[in-house]
A = this chain, B = another copy of it.
Amino acid sequence: MARARPTIADVAAHAGVSKGLVSFALNNRPGVAPQTRERILAIAEELGWQPSVRARSLSVARSFALGLVITRDPEIITSDPFYPSFIAGVERELSPAGQALVLSVVSNEREELASYRKLVADGRIDGAFITDLRHDDLRLGLVQELGLPAVTLGRPESRPGVSSIPAVAMEDAAGIEEAVDHLAGLGHRRIAHVAGPARMLHGSHRRQAFDTAMRRAGLEPDLVIETDFKAADGARATRHLLAGPDRPTAIVYANDPMAIAGLGVAQHAGLNVPGDLSITGFDGTDIGEHVYPALSTIVADPVRWGSAAARVLLRMIAGDPTEDVDLPPARFVRRKSSGPAPRTP
């Protein structure tokens, strides 16, 4: 019969001391005689004692877990590479810290808020990641209201009150500007942007960066189509752009799946990429490297982003002072899908 796992009381009994003292010893608290402490630790070791997260949770009112709520329509099978990588980065920090990651996937904003509330009400998490920031994001007020430590990915435009919500930001605008500069430098004048949803902060950031870079190059950023970041949207937007009267010679997409879909549409229409049309993506999925022609894109580092965000959040929960973190900006990587503008006929 498997012996039940030892509790702190067993350790206390074996050591001939009280429970409380064992607790002190195990938590490196002062007030325990050095040799007693050692004896207790040795016995705990020998008995194979491990703390019960459950019991500790109840008594210290913490859960030793962090929460991530992802909002997306589950029916839409999207090969967004961000989350898997981001989560891997988060785990890398949590695991050694003895923390767990609680994941929730919901379909819409209503459920999203409800999910945060529920996770907190159930005492499942001690802190949360806020990803995919939106304009007037209700989650910022919510975590404040709930008193839930949180970190945002990217800087929110405004934080409620004298906020204590640190941001871990990666400047994605720089990459877009690089891409536009690159294209303009290749002689492109009609450059379009297939943007992400404007209500999402990174969607509009990238768009603003596009506008800025275009104006700086003396071009009018008038060919912009807003999408939902889905491959199908990218295809639709591309068809629309190519069917237009004065079609672009280059398209800057807000993510890789849309760029790849756009590439497909262009090729389907008989265009040569990059001969007739240059294309750039955003995110650096591994597939982009292998399509033909290889996709010029803007690469970020979601694994690192995850680690950084987790570190900030852990520090915050520990009560240490935190401040915003700036990660190295996303960089434009030239591959084969972008080239010189076609000679005007």
A residues within 8 Å of B by Cβ?
Answer: 50, 52-55, 57-58, 61, 63, 65, 70, 72, 74-81, 83-85, 87-89, 91-92, 95, 98, 100-106, 115, 119, 121-124, 230-232, 234-235, 257, 260-261, 263-268, 284-287, 289-294, 302-303
Nearest B residue to A60, CB-CB: B54
Nearest B residue to A119, CB-CB: B100
Known: A260-B290, A263-B291. A303 touches B79 (CB 8 A): no
Q: Complex: how many Å from CA A286 to CA B235?
A: 11
Q: Please state if A103 and B104 are interface contacts (CB–CB under 8 Å).
A: no
Contact residues in B for A89 (Cβ distance below 8 Å): 74
For this complex, 8 residue pairs linking A to B, each with C-beta atoms less than 8 Å apart, are A55-B58, A77-B303, A79-B80, A79-B81, A101-B103, A260-B287, A263-B292, A266-B292
Q: Please state if B72 and A88 are interface contacts (CB–CB under 8 Å).
A: yes
Contact residues in B for A289 (Cβ distance below 8 Å): 231-232
Instruction: Pick the most buried of A53, A89, A284, A292: most chain B CB atoms within 10 A of its CB.
Output: A292
* Contacting residue for A123 out of B52, B102, B302, CB 8 A: B52
Q: Complex: how many Å from CA A286 to CA B231?
A: 7
- For residue A19, give the distance in angstroms from its CB to the closest CB of chain B: 16
* Contacting residue for A290 out of B52, B264, B285, CB 8 A: B264
Contact residues in B for A63 (Cβ distance below 8 Å): 54
- For residue A256, give the distance in angstroms from its CB to the closest CB of chain B: 8
Q: Please state if B285 and A79 are interface contacts (CB–CB under 8 Å).
A: yes
